């Protein structure tokens, strides 16, 4: 579980940076930027916990999340220019964060006896809802709805986890394979510029 | 109660279709469309359950909702063109869904000893919040705020339910009369193009 | 505690007016305006209670909130023109509401054994989330993200409260000093047109 916490923390930190960068782009003030950093980092987990009834929500019970987000926001503000140049590195971290958040949400839901398809949705919610709230608050159509196979990678990873689990593969192996799958799918997708087809309904 | 579940299911299915259609209009990809289909169908009930503390939220405890939404999304994607032509039929189903969602939310709240005026709001929340989230995520001013007496029909129906209940009318009669009232009000309103006046405050 | 309830009520009433005024500006209909009035008044407290697990959310357990919001909406609709002229008075009331909502949220969280930094966020959430939802639903970039040191006043006030509390100052004194500080900071900020710098990251 320790390794898990470590990566949950990395995810939180990286999502805080991603939120703050988006806010900077929208010319928000420092408060606005910090606020967006926070909701990007904790939004997904908050909705997940509120829907499952694990209250108070998890980030309220562990101060580490709080300090990591503050750190992410400060780093972005202080080293903004440098962070922007690291976009490729950021993208990798972001992908790692998503992968771990997916597995965390999935496992948490399964531990609470939520049915597997719902648990997949809880994993997805952990990973993507923060970004959706970020974009909605910044008054933009959420990126995830019209670009990149991002959610699809999370869902594919969750299905891999469930399959391995069903085959009685050791927990830690399930987790590692799932995480590597999500990361690989996302990297391949972006490298080859694969996108889900747009939904068109002719009238 | 069985009849109720049946109509709750119809409501869920129809709302999933309505969400997917909106997403198609916004040129979202398949994931985005499915996501919007889901939140349209479960958004209202989710907020209601989170506010009342009935957790995990109800759709997480019954797989039928999940499959019905998937079915609604698939039907829209596969038969999109046909579904669009059925707009009148859709509108009727949508109205039926709203009517049943209103009564469900209202009854659920009353069973949890929520005061009647709040219970009316829970019925309304069940019926309209999904559509509000759908429009907000699609970056549009929610339809319900500036067109059609839609919410008003739900509230009128809820008041009818409460009055009949107060007069000790049998439960099933209360429910049927309420549902028919909501449907009738909405059909009449749309037929005669009645709209609530816009709120104007002269400066 | 009685004094507290009184000011919580004032805050609720004033926020309902502020929401309805925003809605009128957006040319919503009567339902839309009432709906926005409601979410502006109860949005912050609702999210706070859902995150902390104090369910059903507090406004559902006390009918006074309901009637105060209805009153706020009706007053705005009936005396709209007059209310607009009272903008300065409104601004003062709004500031008072924010100050009291901040202390309420902060105290509530501390009573539930939430760690102080999180408790500060709960105070802030009580005070500002209603306005953020109002602006998001009205399809605008939330005001609070790019204008006025509004949230900063809440946070400063919360830190004052925590410091006084740490120094064993009597509860009622802590509360009064905190509330006056928040009000003073906001009035000074607006008078001298102080704003947080916008976050700019050069590419």
Selecting from B55, B139, B197 the residue whose C-beta is nearest the C-beta of C29 gives B197
- Residue C80 neighbours by CB under 8 Å, 6+ apart: B201, B202, C21, C24
Name residues 108-127 of chain B within 8 A of C (Cβ): 112, 114-115, 117-118, 121
| Separate counts of helices (H) and strands (E) for chain A | 8, 0
What average pLDDT does the segment A170-190 reach?
A: 89
- Report the distance separating Cα B139 and Cα A136, nearest Å: 7
Specify the 3-state DSSP secondary structure of A104. Answer: helix
Indicate the angle between helix axes B63-78 and A116-137, nearest 10 degrees. 60
- Report the distance separating Cα A186 and Cα A96, nearest Å: 10
Selecting from B23, B31, B63 the residue whose C-beta is nearest the C-beta of A151 gives B31
Chains touching chain C at 3 or more Cβ pairs under 8 angstroms? A, B
Percent composition of chain B: helix, strand, coil (DSSP 3-state, to 5): 80, 0, 20
pLDDT digits (tens, 9 = 90+) for A132-158: 888 888 777 676 666 666 788 899 999
Q: Measured between beta carbons, which residues in chain A are less than 8 angstroms from residue B56?
A: 51-53, 112, 114
Specify the 3-state DSSP secondary structure of B29. Answer: strand
What average pLDDT does the segment A84-109 reach?
A: 80
What average pLDDT does the segment A172-193 reach?
A: 88
What average pLDDT does the segment B102-109 reach?
A: 91
Instruction: Say which DSSP state B61 is in.
Output: S
Flag whether residue A195 sits within 8 Å of chain C, measured between CB atoms. no
Give the pLDDT band (50/70/90) at residue C87.
low
Query: Do residues B145 and B131 lie in contact, with contact meaning Cβ atoms separated by under 8 Å?
Result: no
- Report the distance separating Cα A47 and Cα A27, nearest Å: 27
Flag whether residue B154 sits within 8 Å of chain C, measured between CB atoms. no
Selecting from C25, C26, C63 the residue whose C-beta is nearest the C-beta of B115 gives C63
Selecting from C115, C136, C197 the residue whose C-beta is nearest the C-beta of A29 gives C197
From the CB of residue B82, how many other CB atoms can be counted at a distance below 10 Å? 11
Least Cα distance to B145 among C136, A145, A4 occurs for C136
List the single residue in C with minimal CA-CA distance to B52: C56
Selecting from B35, B53, B138 the residue whose C-beta is nearest the C-beta of A141 gives B138
- Report the distance separating Cα A151 and Cα A127, nearest Å: 8
CB-based contact A28 C52, cutoff 8 Å: no
pTM of the predicted protein model: 0.87
- Smallest CA–CA separation between C124 and chain A, in Å? 11
List the single residue in B with minimal CA-CA distance to C70: B117
Question: Does residue B76 or residue B83 have the better pLDDT?
Answer: B76
Flag whether residue B171 sits within 8 Å of chain C, measured between CB atoms. no
List the single residue in A with minimal CA-CA distance to B63: A115
CB-based contact C132 A137, cutoff 8 Å: yes
pLDDT given for residue B147 in this prediction: 61
- Smallest CA–CA separation between A19 and chain C, in Å? 12
**For testing the chain A interface, which of B26, B31, B64, B90 should be mutated: the one with the most A CBs within 10 Å?**
B31
Name residues 73-92 of chain C within 8 A of B (Cβ): 76-77, 80-81, 83-84
Selecting from C24, C32, C59 the residue whose C-beta is nearest the C-beta of B201 gives C24
CA torsion sign, A32 to A36 to A37 to A42? Answer: positive
pLDDT given for residue C34 in this prediction: 87
List the single residue in B with minimal CA-CA distance to A148: B29
CB-based contact A145 B56, cutoff 8 Å: no
- Report the distance separating Cα B37 and Cα B13, nearest Å: 9
From the CB of residue C38, how many other CB atoms can be counted at a distance below 10 Å? 25
Percentage, residues of chain C above pLDDT 90? 31
CA torsion sign, C98 to C127 to A31 to C89? Answer: negative
**Paired strand residues for B29:** A198
- Whose tokens are 């949950």? That residue is A8
Q: Which of these ranges, A14-18, A93-97, B48-52, has the smallest mean pLDDT?
A: A93-97
Domain residue ranges in chain B? 2-142
- Smallest CA–CA separation between B137 and chain A, in Å? 6
- Residue A7 neighbours by CB under 8 Å, 6+ apart: A96, A97, A100
pLDDT given for residue C203 in this prediction: 52
pLDDT given for residue A151 in this prediction: 82
pLDDT digits (tens, 9 = 90+) for C104-145: 899 989 999 999 999 999 999 888 888 888 888 877 767 666
pLDDT given for residue B5 in this prediction: 76
Flag whether residue B141 sits within 8 Å of chain A, measured between CB atoms. no
ipTM value of the model? 0.83
pLDDT digits (tens, 9 = 90+) for C40-81: 999 999 999 999 999 899 889 889 999 999 999 998 888 877
- Report the distance separating Cα C131 and Cα C114, nearest Å: 24
CA torsion sign, C153 to C69 to A136 to B129? Answer: positive
- Judged against a pLDDT cut of 80, whether residue A67 lies above it is answered with yes
CB-based contact A195 B29, cutoff 8 Å: yes
What is the full DSSP assignment across C35-87? HHHHHHHHHHHHHHHHHHT--S-GGGG-HHHHHHHHHHHHHHHHSHHHHHHTH
Altogether, the residues listed in chain B come to a count of: 203
Q: Measured between beta carbons, which residues in chain C are less than 8 angstroms from residue B50?
A: 50, 55
């Amino acid at each position: 579980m320790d390794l898990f916490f470590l990566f949950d923390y990395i995810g939180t930190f990286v999502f805080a940076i991603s939120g703050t960068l988006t806010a900077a782009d929208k010319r928000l003030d420092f408060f606005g930027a910090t606020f967006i950093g926070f909701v990007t980092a904790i939004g997904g987990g908050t909705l997940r916990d509120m829907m499952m009834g694990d209250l108070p929500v998890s980030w309220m019970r562990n101060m580490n999340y709080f300090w990591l987000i503050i750190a992410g926001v400060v780093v972005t503000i202080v080293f903004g220019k440098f962070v922007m140049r690291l976009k490729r590195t950021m993208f990798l971290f972001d992908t790692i964060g998503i992968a771990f958040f997916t597995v965390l949400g999935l496992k948490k839901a399964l531990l609470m006896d939520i049915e597997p398809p719902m648990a997949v949705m809880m994993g997805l919610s952990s990973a993507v809802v923060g970004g959706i709230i970020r974009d909605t608050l910044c008054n933009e159509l959420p990126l995830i709805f019209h670009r990149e196979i991002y959610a699809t990678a999370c869902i594919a990873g969750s299905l891999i986890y469930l399959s391995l689990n069903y085959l009685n593969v050791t927990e830690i192996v399930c987790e590692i394979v799932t995480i590597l799958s999500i990361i690989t799918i996302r990297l391949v997708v972006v490298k080859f510029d694969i996108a889900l087809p747009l939904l068109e309904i002719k009238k």
